[in-house]
Amino acid sequence: MSLSIKAKKEINTLIEAVVKKYISKAASKPKANSGNPFVMALLKDFEPLIHRIHGLKTSLGSEMEKIAEIIAIDAWGKANIQRKVKVNVALPKNVFQTIDSIINNLSNAKTLSDYDKEKKMILDACKKPSKTTEQHTYEFDLVVTDPKKKHTYILEMKGPDPNTTEVPGAKKRLLVAIAWAYFKTKSEKIDSHFAIYYNNKHPKVYKNPKVHYYFNPAGGTIVQEDFWNFLGKNTQTFNSLTKLFESYGKTNKKKIWDGFSKLIDIK
């Protein structure tokens, strides 16, 4: 199996916590709603249920980074995984200038994203550092170290439709991550990817102009199966994870329905 018993138990615990949270809110029959007067007028009796299910989906989405960490630790070992790495990054000024130039060219549509070319530009700038440096604080979602190949991977996790303002910020962090990892490891064995944890176009190829404007599919992004299977070092990790969610849903179907149905007034 691609997921250990320990990892499955930890993931189930996270799922259970989110479900319990929203079943509990359903039991208290809160008045919160989406605020859309047209939806309220049409689906007044169902709106509390819709609102709470949407809240559960959002909360579950925020837990996916923790699930990614569990799977990565399970496959790579705890010593090789770091999540939410907040660091003061000091780099030569010319490296930051190179990164800003890449971002500006993409923002102004002067160039299309080319991951390999961008990576080379940053590494070349690192090898010819300016005397002056700059320091800024960054947070990296997930850092994975392959101890055998001595390769460092920095990943930023997002859903398939991030906000327009989030994408260029993520691009800069991931370009900075390449330089940060280079000076830290003294090695060019580095990759930084925008990790889309599920493909909302499945079974079609993932496409989002907002994302692909800054991250080309060939190298810049790692999506759904590729992402989860990379973390788990197994081609069946994504399937195992979805089956785990499916199994929880089937086993707890009555409990979930009993909890949420309290929000619907069918009289």
Q: Are residues 247 and 132 in the same domain?
A: no
2 & 23 share domain = yes
What's the pLDDT score for residue 51? 78
Tell me, yes or no, whether 170 and 70 share the same domain: yes
pLDDT score of 34: 62
24 plus 148 within the same structural domain:
no
Instruction: Tell which residue, 243, 118, 113, has the closest CA to residue 191.
Output: 118
Long-range contacts of the stretch 94-97 (C-beta < 8 A, 24+) = 94/125, 94/128, 94/129, 94/130, 95/122, 95/125, 95/126, 95/129, 95/130, 95/179, 96/134, 96/136, 96/176, 97/125
- Judge if 92 and 203 occupy the same domain: yes
Find out whether 263 and 29 touch, Cβ atoms under 8 Å: yes
Looking at the structure, tell me whether residues 221 and 240 fall in a common domain. Answer: no
In this structure, are 243 and 256 located in the same domain?
yes
Q: Are residues 257 and 213 in the same domain?
A: no
d(CA 138, CA 135): 10
pLDDT < 50 positions in the chain: none
Q: Are residues 109 and 36 in the same domain?
A: no
- Same domain for 208 and 125: yes
Number of domains in the chain: 2
**Residues 109 and 224 reside in one and the same domain:** yes
* Residue numbers of the domain that contains 118: 64-234
pLDDT at 146: 97
Shared domain for 249 and 126, answered yes or no, is no
